[in-house]
Copies of this chain bind each other. A is one copy, B any other.
Amino acid sequence: MTAKQIGVGIIGFGTVGRGTAASLVARGSEFAQLSGADVRVVAVSRRSPVAADELPGDAQYCADWRNVVASPDVQIIVETIGGTSIALEVVRAALAARKPVVTANKNLLAEHGDELFSLARRCDVLLAMEGAVAGSVPVLRALAESLSGDRILSLRGILNGTANYILTQMERERLPFEQALHEAQRAGLAEADPSFDIDGIDARDKLSILARLAFNGRVRPQQIPTRGIRAIAAVDFDYARRLSSTVRLVASAELHDGEYDLAVQPWLVRCESKLASVEGAENAVIITGERAGTHMLHGYGAGGLPTGVAVASDVLAIARRLASGTLRFQSVAGFDAAPELKLSNQPQAVPWYLRLTVRDRPGIVARVADALARHEMNIDAIVQEPGMSRERLSFVVTVEPALATSVAAALGEINRMDFMVEPVVLLRAEGW
């Protein structure tokens, strides 16, 4: 008996596209055994030509992606272009042609997920996306399927490997931010324009997807308060060490009284905590459910090979359903017809870390303490590293749980004080 052939078309043949093709070729015989079909890459599209020896198996190169979508030999479309312009056209066209789509494009899903899942529903076809967040760490399937029997209370994620690499390099090698960033760029981990990674935009897009799945409600990335790591300096790691802590860029979503607090911001996390254990370019998601307690999923969140594994795994899942004639649309929690997620106007009070850089003179602590007190913030500790110049002296104030609005108001005042050399650096502190 000849096995049914299922043709895959890969549109966008960069790192992730090539990683996907490599997995599909390497796992071909396993896929055939598990799906009962011969799953193979039959077409590849990229704006710039692909050399024959770079093409997987006997796949055809197509300059125009429309020919891949239209090809009768292609039953599954893999979109690995990235971005939201052509990728959006590709996914729309594929779904409209009733071809199931696998994408790893968090940007596209964060911005246009509702439209695309709605289109997939109308066309009764699958849209799969495990690779879109945390690479091969199986967090989307965990939220959408494995933990669907629980009510999720909180999510905490280290979702951007580049930012985490920079922070851990600053911590280990005591590097200034700029140098750690250059190293990440040299290591191929950061783009020439690194702002998506270091300003928290990428983590914010990913958090919006995770929050949708976890809480079954729609949220736009622009609704999520986001601060990146540009202001973090080597001295913050000195202070963190004194506090038995380190610094991580954390994407968090928490349920309180029926409302959700979502944010991306740098956190001061204790050295022995799960968040601190995530090092270098790794990703991790910590999920706390009402009944299942706390889970952590941890691994490589980026790179063509891990993300290619996630995409290829989605291709196999679709191939199995195609082969058994059971491929239908499946709704995904939080997209399309889901209700809006109710975000809180007033996130819960949490502890904070404030680093002030000042021109030293008498009375500074008194004025800062007064500003904090007027905004109902209680000081927990004041720490100062020794041996600093009086012209540029830093000290750290940690405060007991306080509302973000109080902190913002107090910082507004403090930042205008005449002894301030640069704005206060603010970290959310893990509760302890």
Determine if B328 and A309 form an interchain contact, defined as CB atoms under 8 angstroms apart: no
Interface digits, A285-321 against B, CB 8 Å rule (1 contact, 0 not)? 0000111111111111000011011111111110011
Given A138-B147, A146-B141, is A295 in contact with B297 using a C-beta cutoff of 8 Å? Answer: yes
Cross-interface CB contact of A136 among B295, B296, B311, B331, cutoff 8 Å: B295
Interfacial chain B residues near A149, Cβ < 8 Å? 23-24, 27, 308-316
List 7 A–B pairs whose Cβ atoms lie within 8 Å, in order of A's numbering.
A19-B291, A23-B150, A291-B309, A292-B299, A292-B309, A293-B306, A297-B297
* Bound CA span A147–B130, Å: 10
Chain A interface, number of residues (Cβ within 8 angstroms): 63
Cα(A133)–Cα(B319), bound, Å:
26
Among A62-117, those with CB < 8 Å from B are none
A422, CB-defined interface residue at 8 Å:
no
A5 at the interface (CB under 8 A from B): no
Question: Does A142 interact with chain B (Cβ within 8 Å)?
Answer: yes
A320 CB contacts on chain B under 8 angstroms: 330
* Shortest CB distance A269–B (Å): 15
Closest CB in chain B relative to A152 CB, distance in Å: 11
Interface bits A155-177 vs B (CB < 8 Å: 1, else 0): 00000000000000000000000
A313 near B145 (CB under 8 angstroms)? yes
A23 to chain B, nearest CB (A): 4
Contacts of A290 in B (CB 8 A): 26
A328 adjacent to B331 (CB under 8 Å): no
User: Are A289 and B146 also in contact (CB < 8 A) when A216-B34, A298-B295 are?
Assistant: no
A136–B289 contact, CB under 8 A? yes
Docked-complex contact A130 and B146, CB < 8 angstroms: yes
Q: Which residues of B contact A333 (CB under 8 A)?
A: 30, 34
A residues whose Cβ falls under 8 Å from a Cβ of B: 19, 22-24, 26-27, 30-31, 33-34, 36, 130, 135-138, 141-142, 145-151, 216, 277, 289-300, 305-306, 308-317, 320-321, 324-331, 333, 338
Q: How many copies, total? A: 2
The 8 A-B residue pairs with the shortest CB-CB distance, nearest first, are A149-B312, A138-B146, A295-B299, A136-B292, A149-B313, A326-B326, A291-B305, A292-B309
Cβ-closest chain B residue relative to A297: B297
CB distance from A125 to the nearest CB of B (A): 13
User: Across the interface, do B298 and A296 meet the contact criterion of CB distance under 8 Å?
Assistant: yes
Q: Assess whether A145 is in contact with B292, with CB atoms less than 8 Å apart.
A: no
Complex CA–CA separation, A330 to B318 (angstroms): 12
Query: Residues of B contacting A338 with CB < 8 Å?
Result: 33
Distance between Cα atoms of A298 and B36 in the complex (Å): 33
- In the complex, the chain B residue whose C-beta lies closest to that of A303 is B293
The answer on a CB contact under 8 Å between B23 and A291 is yes
Best-surrounded residue of A23, A277, A290, A320 (most CB of chain B within 10 A): A23
By a CB distance below 8 angstroms, the chain B residues around A150 are: 23, 27, 136, 309, 312-313
Give the residue of B24, B33, B135, B324 whose beta carbon is less than 8 angstroms from that of A330: B324
Q: How far is the CA of A329 from the CA of B325 in the complex (A)?
A: 11
Query: Hey, which chain B residues are within 8 Å of A33, CB to CB?
Result: 216, 338
CB atoms of A138 and B142 under 8 A apart? yes
Report the separation of the CA atoms of residues A147 and B333 in the bound assembly, to the nearest whole angstrom: 22
CA distance A328 to B325 in the complex (A): 9
A308 and B295 form a contact (CB under 8 A):
no
List residues of chain B with CB within 8 A of the CB of A136: 146-147, 150, 289, 291-293, 295
A326 to B149, CA, bound (A): 21
**Whole-angstrom distance from the CB of A26 to the nearest CB of chain B?**
7
For A297, list chain B residues within 8 Å (CB).
Answer: 138, 295-298
CB distance from A279 to the nearest CB of B (A): 11
Contact A292 B298 (CB under 8 A): no
Count chain B CB atoms within 10 A of each CB in A149, A291, A328 and give the residue with the most: A149
If A19-B291, A291-B305, A293-B299 are given as contacts, then 20 extra A-B residue pairs at C-beta distance below 8 Å, sorted by A number, are: A30-B148, A33-B216, A130-B146, A136-B295, A138-B138, A138-B142, A138-B147, A145-B313, A145-B316, A148-B316, A149-B312, A150-B312, A291-B309, A292-B300, A294-B299, A294-B300, A295-B297, A296-B299, A297-B297, A326-B327
